[in-house]
Structure 1
Amino acid sequence: MSSARYTGSSVSTPSLTITNLNSNDTGNYICLAANSVGTGQSLQGQLTVIGNLPVVTVGQSTYTTNIGNTITLACVVSANPAHTAVYWTQHSSNGNTVTLNPASSTKYSGSTIQSPSLTINNVDFSDEGNYICHATNAVGTGQSSQTFLDVTGNIPTVTASIIGSAKVANPVTITCTVIATPAATRIVWQRFVNNAATTIDTSSIRYSGGTTSIPSLTINIVQADDQGLYFCQALNTVGTGTSNNVYLTVTGDGATSIAIRPSPITVNEGQTITATCTAQGSPTIQYTWFKGNSNTQLSTGSVLQIPSSTRTDAGTYLCRASNTYGNADAKVTVEVQYIPDVTITQPSQGSGGQAITIQCSYVSNPGATNVIWSKGNQGITVDGSKYVGGTLSNPSLTITNLAASDQGSYRCSVVNSVGQGDSSSVTLSVDTSTAPSYIRILPTCVVVNEGESFTLTCEADGDPAPTFNWYKNDNMIHQGAVLYISNANWTIHDGLTVCKATNSKGSRQTWEGVHVQYKPVSTVTQTRISHIVGNPVSLSCDTRANPSATAWEWFYNGYALSSTSKVLVVDRDLASDSGQYTCRAVNGVGTSSDMTFNIAVLIGTVTQPAEPVTGASVIDTAAISTGEIVAILLAILFVLLLIIGIIVCCCCQGSCLYNDHLTRS
C-alpha cells in the first residue's frame, strides 16, 4: 500500500488510514504482523464505503484584480451524498485565517450551496491572500486547494505643465499628464482665486479638455483675469492624484485710439442723446461714462444714451476705455437746445388813466429771435405809444393810459429756432373808478309857497356810481338822488340845501337855494299902548314875509281905515281915540292874521318907556315934523323895494344870490 491515500501500517502505527475514500475501497481487510518467528494475521475486517467527502475544486490557482474592482473566485463542488454547506476561508500573509460570512456583509456574495463561488465587491489591498473553498456533506467536509488573490493598483500620478505665457483673446492649453492604475475615472481642474482653490467648470464654453480622454485644459479665449495658479487632479478607484501648481501668465494691450462719435452733440430738448465710444486694446475694453468732473459712474457700455433729454443734460461727458493693461479718456460736449422758457408775473390792479408794466422774462437756447405779446387770442402790436417794450432786451410790456378795454388775459411768447415758448396767462384788471368830478342840483333857484311840495334832483358823475346825501344846516336830512318835500316850511326848508355825492374814490358837493314864500307873519311884540292926549302914536304893522308885504289894511274898532301904509300915525287929541287898532299885511302869498293894538289915550303926563316898543312909537311932533316922518318912511320903503328887485333879477337870469348854479366842491 504505497498510495498516498494510505497511512499507518507500520510497526509503530499498525492501523491503516485510508484517505479520500471512494467506492473502490469497499472490501475485506486483514492486518498482518511478522517477526522472526513468523507472520501472524488478524481476522478479516469488512469495509463498506457508502459515500465520499465532497470534492471541491477552485477555478484557478491565482486571480489578479485592481483595487476597487469586483472579482469572483470560482468554486465547483461534487459531493455524494450531496453537500449541505459551503464556506470560504481567507489566509492572509500574516498567518491569520478568517472564515468569511457573506450573509453578514455586503462586501461578499455567493458562498452558498447553489452558488459556492465567492464574489468580493470593491476589492482593496486587505482582500489580497489565499482563499480555500469548503463543502460539507454527511461524510464530512471537503476543501479545495488554495487560490491566491493578487490585488494591484495605486492613486494616479498627475503632472501639469505650461509653456510660455498666454495673450488676451488667444487660446492657451495647460498640459495635464495622468498615469493611473486603475485608470482614472475623472479629471478635475482647479485654480487659486483669492488664495482659495476654486474648481473650474470645464463644461463651460470658455474651456475644452479636462476629461479622462483629454485631461489637459484649454482656455479658448484668454481673459486678463485668467492669470494665476492652476493644478490638475485625477481620480481612480484608489484615490485622487494632484498635480503640481503651474502659473499662467496673461499678457495684453491697454486701451488706445479712443474716440467719441459724433462730437460735439447738439439735440433739441426731448430728443435722445446718443454717443458712441470706440477704443482699441486687448483684453476686451470696458467703457464707463461720467459727466463733468464727477467721479460718479453715469453709465457703462460703449454707447451712451439719454432718452427724453432736458436742458440739465447739457454739459461735458467723459468716456473712459479700460482693461487690465491701461485706460484712456475722451470727452464730448453736449448742447441741449430748447424752446424759450418764459415766465410772466401777475400784475397788480391797474388804475384808469395810469400805466402798468406786466413783467416778462425768459431763458432761451439758442438765443431768442422775437418776443410776442397777445391779449386773449389776439396779438398785440407794440407801437411805442399805447404799448411799450416787448423786445428781446426788454420783453416786459408796459400799457399806458389804462382803460377798461385793457382788462383781460395777457400772455408773453418768445421765439427761437427751436420753436415758440409761451408763458402762462395773467389777468389784468383795471380800476376805472373815479371820484365825482361834476355835480349839480336841478331845478335851480327853487321858489315855492309854504305848504306846497317841491323836488330837488342831484346829478353827479363818478365810477362807481356815487351815493347821494342831502344836508340842511350841516344835518343830513335825506339819502338818495331825489329830495322830495311834500309840505314846504319856511323855517325848515328855506335857505341853502346841500347835496353831497360820494363813492369809494371820493366825494363832491354843491348847494342850491330854496326860497319858501309865505304870507306875512306878525312880528309885533307890544300891542297894548298908552299915550297922552296931544301926543301922536305911530303904530307899525311889523311882519316877516316872503315876499315882503306890499300892502296893509288898518281897522279901528272893526271899522276899516283909509290908510294902506305899514305905519299908522294916531294923532288925535281926544280921549275917544282910544280903542283897538287892527292891521293886516298883504303879499303875493296871502294876508296875515290880524294884529291888534290896544290904545289908551290919557289926560296928563305919561312916563315914556325907556326904549320904543316894536310895533308902536311915540313921535315928538315938536322935534320932527310930519313931512320929515313921511320922508323917512319913503326912504325905508325904497331900500326894501331895491333889495326885492335884486333878488327877482337874480332868479330871472338863472343865477341866485346863494348859488352860482355851477359845480362847487
Structure 2
Amino acid sequence: MGLGTLLLLLAVTAWPGQGVPVIEPSGPELVVEPGAAVTLRCLSNVSVEWDGPISRSWTLDPDAPSSALTTNNATFQNTGTYRCTELGDPLGGSATIHLYVKDHRRPWRVLAPEVTVLEGQDARLPCLLTDPALAGGVSLALLRRLSVLPGRAVLRQTNYSFSPWHGFTIHKAKFIEGQDYACTVLVDGRVVWSSVRLNVQKVIPGPPTLTLKPTELVRIRGEAAQIVCSATDVDVHFEVFLHRGDTKLAISQQSDFHDNRYQKVLTLDLDPVGFQDAGNYTCMATNARGTHATSMVFRVVDTPPPSPCLA
C-alpha cells in the first residue's frame, strides 16, 4: 500500500439473530489530509447499503462479502458520518465511521444552507468541522442583514450546543430564533465562517379564531349600520373574508399583533342602509389547518318593528 493511500476497514461480522456490528479499527473517527485516497469497507454476511454524504467523488464496489466506498482525492466535501446497514435481516445492525478531511482553508462543511423546523423542536444547523482539532474555537453568531460579516451575538434566550459530527443544535427553537446564522471558528488567528438560515414555523393548532359582530342586526332604511368580521391566529399566514350571500365583499383589511397573536379585521360601514344591504352575512377565515365560518342575519325594514309590549 502506498504512503498516499489510507485504508479504513469496517469489518462487520454478523450472524443471524446477533445484529451487533463490529468496526475495525476501533476508533469511531478517521482524519485525513486533502487529496488522500480513502477506502471505507464494510464486511458482512448479508447485503448492505451505505448512507451519508456520498457524492460522485465516491465509487462503490458492492461485491460480497464486502462493500467498499473509495475516493482517490478526498476533499472537505467528503467530511461527514458514513453508515453501513445490513439489509434483509430485521435483527441486522449497522456500523458508522466519521470522516474528517481537514482543510484549514475550508474548515466548515455545510450539509444544507437552510433548515426548517416547527417551534419547540430542536434545530440542527449542519455545519460540520473538517478538523476536530478546531472544536475549541467554534461559536455561533447572527448574520447581519445585507452584510458579508457575522455580527450580533445570538439571542440571550437561545440555548444551543455544538458537536463536531453534527454541527450546532438550537434546543427547543422559538419562532423569534428564525434567523440567518454564522458558524464561526478560529483558524490560525483568523475567523472563518459559513452561513445557515433557520426557519422556525409556528405550531398552528387549528383554523383561526373568529368573531362576527353584531350577532344579529335590524335597521330602518336610511339608518347607519356596521358589521365587523375579525380573525386571530398564532401565524400571520391566514386569510379572512366577509360574504353577503354568495358574494365576497371587497373591504380594506386592518392588521394588528398583540398577545402573541396576529389579528385581521374587516369592517363594513353602511350609511345609509338600503334593502339591498339586507341578507345573510358570513365571516370566514382560513389557514393551513382549515376554515372557520360564522354567520348573522341583517334585516332592513321600512318602519320601526312593533314594540313587544304593543304587539
In the superposition, the TM-score normalised over structure 2's length comes to 0.47
Higher RCO (Cα < 8 Å, 6 or more apart): 2
Larger radius of gyration: 1
